[in-house]
């Protein structure tokens, strides 16, 4: 008799931050676990949303891969009863806000975000008190509560358009200082006060690292995320959002090598779509600097257990969800760049 792959426990569950991508290096493990996850997802009418920065084996089980907002919007188009969000906590919150009737699971509660944690409701209140006549624009990499206290949300794809669309010339941009500074340079007609948070994964990279790597690939194209520092963006050929980085490669049909300045998980989607091209991490390493430990904490065992036991459901209080939804909906009325 064929064994019931769904009900048996293939591997022990490891405690918080103990899951590693090491088992995902075993092809047999990946094949069995991936098959079990897909069976469970079908049985429970669940959609698997996976961010581009996740480990490769987790990206491969996805129904949809992409950036956080794009994934949440994809979920609104499906008839799934359950969302399994393989990303970080604020992304699962946004998915819940935009899909209030669906059950949203975050496979690993250790999947936080240093950038989102850099701005708390109390901190935002303090900054709003200091700049009372400013419109608050908050990057989507933030908690639902912080979004609910903001006038409008933005993504890295539409941040410039969002700021330009606002009637007020005085803007308080939170929480990413690098993205905020980049927006301020694109929209000099606005007086933009920038909060002092940052994504450590992007902020660690320096322009000197990129220039040194570029010397080995003189004909390469440099694509950078706007969460990077100004000296990195200054030497980039393209500055764009996570999902746009994958698409932007097509703009250079004759280029063979691309230096990529963002979290190293993005290389998987780039290599799948453009198998004839070479993608190098801009830090000149294998991406050891451009590595987000929160994005990499989720493994196949975490996804399997969350689905099997329906663990780690994300809920957002109604009043906070209403405010966050309002800020998100205002943003969605503004087209992406």
> What pLDDT was estimated at residue 72?
83
Whether residue 104 is found in the same domain as residue 49? yes
Whether residue 104 is found in the same domain as residue 133? no
Query: Is the distance from CB of 242 to CB of 218 less than 8 angstroms?
Result: no
**Residue with more model confidence, 223 or 10:** 223
> What pLDDT was estimated at residue 287?
59
**Is 101 part of any domain?**
yes
Percent of the chain with pLDDT over 70: 92
pLDDT at 186 over 70: yes
φ/ψ of 183, rounded to 5, equals: -60, -45
**Is 290 part of any domain?**
no
Using the 8-state DSSP alphabet, how is residue 17 labeled? T
pLDDT at 213 over 80: yes
* CB atoms closer than 10 angstroms to residue 187: 19
Whether residue 192 is found in the same domain as residue 169? yes
Query: For residue 42, what are the domain limits?
Result: 22-111+295-309
Whether residue 36 is found in the same domain as residue 106? yes
Whether residue 217 is found in the same domain as residue 257? yes
> What pLDDT was estimated at residue 13?
38
> What pLDDT was estimated at residue 69?
84
**Is 331 part of any domain?**
no
Query: Is the distance from CB of 236 to CB of 262 less than 8 angstroms?
Result: no
DSSP string for 95-121: HHHH-TTSEEE-S-TT---HHHHT--H
Tens of pLDDT, residues 32-90: 999 999 999 999 999 999 999 999 999 999 999 999 888 988 888 989 999 999 999 99
Comparing CA positions, the residue from 287, 243, 196 lying closest to residue 64 is 243
Please tell me the distance from the alpha carbon of residue 48 to that of residue 33, in angstroms, as a whole number: 14
Tens of pLDDT, residues 242-254: 989 999 999 999 9
Whether residue 31 is found in the same domain as residue 107? yes
Whether residue 193 is found in the same domain as residue 227? no
> What pLDDT was estimated at residue 26?
87
pLDDT at 94 over 70: yes
Report the chain's C-alpha Rg in angstroms. 20
Q: From 147, 173, 200, give the residue that closes a domain.
A: 200
CATH of the domain at 88: 3.40.50.10800
**Is 257 part of any domain?**
yes
* 3-state DSSP assignment of residue 284: coil
Average pLDDT score over the chain:
92
Whether residue 164 is found in the same domain as residue 242? no
**Is 239 part of any domain?**
yes
Which residues contact residue 202 at a Cβ distance below 8 angstroms, ignoring those fewer than 6 apart?
178, 225, 227, 228, 229, 261, 262, 263, 290
φ/ψ of 6, rounded to 5, equals: -80, -40
Which range is least confidently modeled, 25-29, 86-90, 119-123, 271-275?
A: 25-29
Strands, E, within the chain: which ranges?
46-51, 64-66, 82-86, 103-105, 135-139, 152-154, 170-174, 191-194, 221-224, 238-239, 257-261, 278-281
What domain count does the chain have?
A: 3
**Residue with more model confidence, 140 or 12:** 140
> What pLDDT was estimated at residue 143?
98
**Is 333 part of any domain?**
no
DSSP string for 152-175: EEE-TTTHHHHHHH-S-SEEEEES
Whether residue 33 is found in the same domain as residue 88? yes
Comparing CA positions, the residue from 260, 317, 301 lying closest to residue 86 is 301
Whether residue 150 is found in the same domain as residue 100? no
């Amino acid at each position: 008799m064929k064994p019931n792959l769904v009900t048996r426990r293939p591997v022990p569950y490891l405690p918080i931050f103990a899951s590693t991508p090491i088992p995902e290096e075993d092809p047999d493990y990946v094949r069995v676990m991936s098959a079990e996850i897909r069976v469970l997802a079908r049985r429970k009418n669940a959609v698997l949303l996976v961010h581009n920065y996740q480990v490769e084996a987790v990206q491969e089980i996805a129904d949809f891969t992409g950036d956080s907002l794009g994934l949440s919007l994809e979920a609104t188009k499906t008839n799934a009863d359950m969302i399994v969000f393989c990303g970080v906590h604020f992304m699962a919150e946004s998915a819940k806000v935009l899909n209030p009737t669906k059950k949203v699971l975050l496979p690993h509660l250790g999947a936080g975000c240093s950038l989102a944690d850099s701005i708390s409701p109390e901190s935002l209140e303090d900054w709003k008190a200091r700049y009372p006549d400013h419109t608050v624009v908050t990057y989507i990499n933030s908690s639902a509560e912080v979004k609910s206290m903001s006038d409008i949300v933005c993504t890295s794809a539409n941040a410039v358009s969002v700021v330009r669309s606002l009637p007020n010339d005085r803007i308080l941009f939170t929480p990413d200082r690098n993205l905020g500074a980049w927006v301020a340079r694109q929209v000099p007609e606005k007086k933009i006060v920038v909060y002092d948070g940052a994504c450590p994964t992007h902020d660690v990279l320096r322009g000197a690292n990129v220039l040194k790597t570029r010397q080995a690939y003189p004909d390469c194209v440099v694509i950078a995320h706007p969460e990077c520092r100004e000296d990195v963006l200054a030497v980039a050929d393209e500055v764009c959002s996570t999902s746009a980085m994958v698409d932007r490669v097509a703009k250079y049909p004759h280029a063979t090598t691309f230096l990529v300045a963002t979290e190293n998980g993005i290389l998987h989607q780039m290599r799948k779509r453009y198998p004839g091209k070479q993608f190098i991490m801009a830090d000149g390493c294998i991406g050891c600097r451009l590595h987000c430990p929160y994005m990499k904490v989720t493994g196949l065992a975490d996804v399997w257990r969350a689905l099997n036991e329906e663990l780690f459901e994300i809920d957002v209080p109604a009043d906070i969800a209403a405010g966050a939804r309002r800020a998100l909906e205002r943003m969605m009325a503004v087209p992406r760049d």
